[in-house]
């Protein structure tokens, strides 16, 4: 019985019994907490949990599923598959245990001629939850099963929940006895290899809470609506009905295995290791086909990474079978033909699916060619040194330089009897991610040696269409990865893309590069930077986020419109600020550099002194008046000489050809040579707020400003602060500066008085400290805590006073204090103490160690500190201990 026929019989059976037939949901789960649909019940969770009313009372489906937790078991057992299909029937508050058991038994044991599956009743066993007397009774009543074929199991096996508070209930599993050749008699409780589970009936009837583990939770009562959730593994039923050994040999999978056998020239069944590889290939190719059909594409993250891993494991398994060339055109075609009866999309969408599959294999074969050699050498060297683990840096080199996946490195190492220093590898990966984030943030990446651009520049200049268009169709002229020309770049890689035309602005004239994307058939590229590595040529640094891009492909550059609009406003605002500066300061205030990006501008100019507050206000007012007047912005392309005659200002550091682009704002008032993008009228800028003016050299100044919404937000924040101050200080806004200055002066005077008071108070403690001197061997020692002190200098001054008043006999003074929340210890030793071996620096270090900090200094006076004020007594005790031990 074909697999597709089994599925159809299942659906027909339940449709006859008034179930709505629901199509399979995508393998890509709509639940954000999981990547894939990992079980048949996933699409029904909202109904089972009661979050969403079910649109039907009873339903049936055949659901596509992907599980990757057991990926290492694939090929080793009869049951583990990455892609599988789960047949299920569902009741939402309709029938319960009796109905579920009756429908299942009728389908399983019904004659094939009547649409049933034709299982012999004597081959079927069931398990029930140990306390579920009702289910046991119903199995006897409906199926006539004897007690010995109804086995009771505990929560570990026969109680279902999501693992979270919510619906739960006992379940009953149906097993098929494969016969004595497969193990011991005695039912599933004895041997679950001989007795293979084919169907699980979940009786969802309780609400649970305080879930501590799979078997430890609190039942809080019965659900208001009892549900039925069943799952029958299609592949398991198929390998039993088809009389084959495992799921890899059923009609939907075996053709791939057979094609791998043909390509390798090895026989299936001759060697265990080869058999495992054949089964891995059969499973992974089918799984990859189905993932591609549901829109997943190979990448280095998330679902795409799982797909890439499956495909690359298949490639490597074929290599271990002796096949070095491309095999996906044969293997995927075989899987397509085996699956198209059940899933026609694999045939109708074959062009797209095959494009991704074949390109991924081609890319990985190149990776293997370089990476395998390096890994083999690493394995040999590791063994020669007697080590049992490949180093983290070696594994990282394979991953980072050669694209060799860490999972594959782990597998190859394990086969060679070695491990991998995964902790060191992960640390290097973390460092790389940190660097990558910094690169992305700055949007700066090193461009390749300019000579590699020659072949691309030979096609002519890159046409920039972004003055009028935010989206332009073009063609990929070239690709660079790590500065080397390549034919294609895959998801996860950073590359440079050369297009014939682009709407994306390349950084120049102070304006930063556009944000945006480049998209094409089956690929998406996130634009990280746009530069002109050689005159006339635009290079886009991108991260391939989806699919694979190749030379010669059509590609559309798409500008981030919001970012461009704000960057354009900032660039036009820079011209206004420049003109306002010249109006205010005169023609000698010439431009020395600029930067403008969305919401922000920075302008450097030649000037030898700081701008007064009044001058800054005047410049800001002139620029904003120009915004208010909505000056017309015009651009002209004309000869350089003519532009200079018209008085156009040239941008700092910019090189110009014979023909230039001149931008006028308000006619000659602002006239500059500029290749940047600009607003059509100055009112589009919105607002300019100068936020700082500073020195950037002996004769250069810098002004910075916020533009548009960013300027408004800044001013709104300042207004809120002023309002708060006027309310708190009960002072009118125009009197705030004087009031704050008055308060600052009062505070400063008060601080001086407090400091003087503390110093005097410390000096008043001099007699008590003198009296506290105690003997420590031949030394007299004072080791006391002062409490709070104004400064460390006060503590030092007092320590020296005490030392000097103790006279010529050997004496050491150690005083501790809390100085603004930080512990300080000062140690002073007189000449006689130093001669006896007491060194203030060493003693200060001992005290600082107790404070969790450091210290040191000269032999006569030294200081230590730390972070723990409460440890001051321990620090002083450490000084005494050190002296007593000397």
pLDDT in tens, 518-528: 999 999 999 99
Q: What percent of the chain has pLDDT over 90?
A: 53
Q: Which residues of 39-66 are buried (b: 16+ CB within 10 A; e: fewer)?
A: bbbbbbbebbebeeebeeebbbbbbbbb
Q: How confident is the model at residue 214 (pLDDT cuts 50, 70, 90)?
A: confident
Lowest-pLDDT range of 288-297, 531-540, 549-558: 531-540
pLDDT band at residue 791 using 50, 70 and 90 as cut-offs: confident
Phi and psi at 477, nearest 5°, equal -85, -30
Residue 571, annotated as binding a ligand: yes
For residue 442, report the phi and psi dihedrals to the nearest 5 degrees: -80, -15
| pLDDT of res. 159 | 93
Residue closest to 334 by CA, chosen among 238, 242, 257, 249: 257
Helix (H, G, I), strand (E, B) or coil at 475: strand
- Per-residue tokens: 628: 């208010």
Most confident of 126-140, 836-850, 860-874: 126-140
CA 801 to chain centre: 61
Q: What is the pLDDT of residue 52?
A: 64
459 is in an annotated binding site: no
Q: Residue 856 has what pLDDT?
A: 77
Token pair recorded at residue 203: 């009786």
CB atoms inside a 10 Å sphere around CB 473: 15
pLDDT over 70 at 448, yes or no: no
CATH homologous superfamily for the domain 3-244:
Bira Bifunctional Protein; Domain 2 (3.30.930.10)
CB contact at 8 A, 464 and 505: yes
List all residues 6 or more positions away from 413 whose beta carbon is below 8 Å from its beta carbon.
Answer: 379, 389, 390, 419, 420
On whether the CB atoms of residues 343 and 350 are closer than 8 A, the answer is: no
CB-based burial of residue 152 (10 Å sphere; 0-12 exposed, 13-18 middle, 19+ buried)? middle
> What integer best gives the mean pLDDT of the chain?
88
Burial class for 753, CB neighbours closer than 10 Å (0-12, 13-18, 19+): exposed
Helix or strand or coil: residue 430?
helix
Q: Pairing mode, if any, of strands 811-819 and 779-788?
A: parallel
- Mean per-residue pLDDT for 35-55? 81
- From the list 17, 66, 21, 19, the residue with the least C-alpha distance to 40 is 66
pLDDT at residue 443 is higher than 50: no
pLDDT of residue 213: 86
Residue 678 assigned to a binding site: yes
Q: Which CATH number fits domain 564-714: 3.30.470.30, 3.30.980.10, 3.40.50.2300, 3.40.50.300?
A: 3.30.980.10
Cα separation, 172 vs 152, in Å, equals 9
The Cα–Cα gap between 150 and 136 comes to 7
User: What's the CATH code, domain 764-885?
Assistant: 3.10.310.40
Which of 297-301, 443-447, 790-794 has the lowest average pLDDT? 443-447
Question: Which tokens go with 505?
Answer: 């602005």
pLDDT of residue 198 exceeding 70, the answer is: yes
**What backbone phi and psi angles, to 5 degrees, belong to 651?**
-75, 145
pLDDT for 85 beyond 70: yes
Whether the CB-CB separation of 291 and 66 falls below 8 Å is answered with yes
* Three-state secondary-structure class, residue 229: strand
In CATH, 450-552 is 3.40.50.1580: no
What does pTM read for this prediction? Answer: 0.51
Is the pLDDT assigned to residue 403 strictly greater than 80? Answer: no
């Amino acid at each position: 019985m074909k697999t597709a026929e089994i599925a159809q019989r299942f659906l027909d059976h339940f449709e006859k019994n008034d179930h709505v037939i629901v199509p399979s949901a995508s393998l890509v789960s709509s639940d954000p907490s999981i990547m894939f649909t990992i079980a048949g019940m996933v699409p029904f969770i909202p109904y089972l949990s009661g979050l969403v009313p079910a649109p039907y009372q009873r339903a049936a489906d055949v659901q596509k599923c992907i599980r990757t937790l057991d990926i290492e078991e694939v090929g080793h057992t009869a049951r583990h598959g990455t892609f599988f299909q789960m047949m299920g029937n569902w009741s939402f508050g309709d029938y319960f245990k009796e109905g579920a058991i009756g429908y299942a038994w009728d389908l399983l044991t019904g004659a094939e001629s009547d649409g049933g599956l034709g299982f012999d009743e004597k081959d079927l066993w069931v398990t029930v939850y140990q306390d579920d007397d009702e289910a046991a009774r119903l199995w006897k009543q409906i199926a006539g099963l004897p007690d010995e074929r109804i086995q009771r199991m505990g929560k570990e096996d026969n109680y279902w929940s999501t693992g979270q508070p919510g619906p739960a209930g006992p379940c009953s599993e149906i097993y098929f006895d494969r016969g004595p050749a497969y193990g011991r008699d005695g039912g599933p409780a004895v041997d679950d290899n001989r007795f293979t589970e084919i169907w699980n009936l979940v009786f969802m009837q309780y609400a649970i809470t305080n879930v501590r583990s799979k078997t430890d939770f609190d039942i809080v009562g019965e659900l208001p609506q009892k549900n039925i959730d069943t799952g029958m593994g299609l592949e398991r039923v198929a390998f039993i009905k088809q009389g084959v050994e495992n799921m890899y040999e059923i009609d939907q999978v075996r053709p791939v295995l057979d094609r791998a056998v043909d390509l390798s020239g090895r026989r299936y069944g001759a060697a265990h290791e080869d058999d495992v590889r054949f089964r891995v290939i059969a499973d992974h190719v089918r799984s990859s086909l189905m993932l591609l059909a549901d829109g997943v594409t190979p990448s280095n993250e998330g679902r795409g990474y799982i797909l890439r891993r499956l495909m690359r494991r298949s490639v490597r398994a074929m290599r271990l079978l002796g096949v070095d060339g491309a095999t996906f055109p044969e293997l995927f075609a075989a899987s397509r033909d085996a699956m198209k009866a059940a899933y026609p999309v694999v045939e109708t969408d074959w062009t797209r699916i095959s494009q991704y599959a074949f390109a991924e294999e081609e890319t990985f074969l190149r990776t293997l060619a370089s990476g395998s050699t390096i890994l083999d050498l690493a394995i040999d060297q590791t063994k020669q040194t007697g080590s049992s683990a490949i180093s983290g840096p070696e594994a990282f080199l394979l991953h980072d330089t050669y694209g060799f996946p860490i999972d594959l490195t782990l597998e190859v190492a394990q086969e060679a009897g070695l491990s991998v220093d995964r902790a060191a590898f992960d640390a290097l990966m973390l460092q790389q991610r940190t660097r990558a984030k910094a690169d992305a943030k700055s949007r700066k990446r090193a461009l390749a040696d300019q000579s590699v651009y020659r072949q691309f520049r030979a096609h002519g200049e890159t046409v920039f269409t972004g003055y009028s268009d935010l989206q332009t169709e073009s063609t990929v002229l070239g690709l660079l990865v790590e500065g080397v020309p390549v034919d294609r770049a895959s998801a996860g890689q950073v590359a440079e893309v050369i297009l014939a035309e682009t709407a994306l602005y390349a950084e120049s004239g102070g304006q930063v590069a556009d944000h945006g994307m480049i998209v094409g058939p089956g690929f998406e590229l996130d634009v990280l930077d746009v530069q002109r590595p050689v005159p006339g040529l635009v290079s886009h640094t991108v991260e391939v986020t989806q699919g694979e891009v190749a030379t010669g492909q059509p590609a559309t550059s798409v500008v981030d419109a919001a970012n461009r609009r704000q960057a354009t406003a900032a660039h036009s605002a820079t011209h206004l600020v420049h003109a306002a500066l010249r109006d205010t300061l005169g023609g000698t205030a010439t431009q020395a550099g600029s930067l403008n990006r969305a919401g922000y501008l920075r302008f450097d100019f030649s000037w030898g002194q700081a701008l007064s507050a009044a001058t800054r206000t005047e410049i800001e007012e002139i620029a904003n008046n120009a915004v208010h007047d909505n000056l017309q912005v015009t651009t002209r392309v004309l000869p350089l000489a003519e532009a200079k005659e018209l008085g156009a200002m040239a941008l700092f550091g910019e090189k110009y050809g014979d023909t230039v682009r001149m931008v006028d704002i308000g006619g000659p008032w602002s006239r500059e040579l500029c290749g940047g993008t600009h607003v059509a009228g100055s009112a589009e800028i919105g607002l300019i707020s100068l936020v700082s003016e500073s020195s950037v050299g002996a004769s250069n100044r810098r002004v910075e400003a916020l533009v548009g919404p960013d300027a408004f937000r800044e001013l709104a924040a300042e207004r809120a602060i002023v309002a708060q101050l006027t309310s708190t200080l009960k002072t009118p806004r125009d009197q705030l500066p004087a009031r704050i200055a008055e308060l600052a002066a009062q505070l400063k005077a008060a601080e001086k008085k407090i400091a003087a008071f503390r110093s005097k108070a410390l000096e008043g403690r001099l007699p008590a400290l003198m009296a506290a001197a105690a003997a420590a061997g031949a030394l007299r020692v004072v080791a006391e805590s002062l409490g709070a002190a104004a400064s460390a200098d006060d503590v030092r001054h007092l320590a020296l006073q005490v030392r000097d008043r103790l006279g010529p006999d050997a004496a050491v003074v150690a005083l501790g204090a809390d100085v603004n929340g930080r512990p300080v210890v000062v140690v002073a030793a007189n000449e006689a103490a130093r001669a006896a071996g007491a060194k203030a620096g060493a003693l200060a270090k001992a005290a600082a160690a107790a404070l969790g900090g450091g210290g040191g200094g000269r032999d006569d006076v030294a200081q230590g500190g730390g972070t723990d004020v409460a440890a001051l007594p321990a620090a002083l005790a450490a000084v005494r201990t050190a002296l007593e031990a000397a």
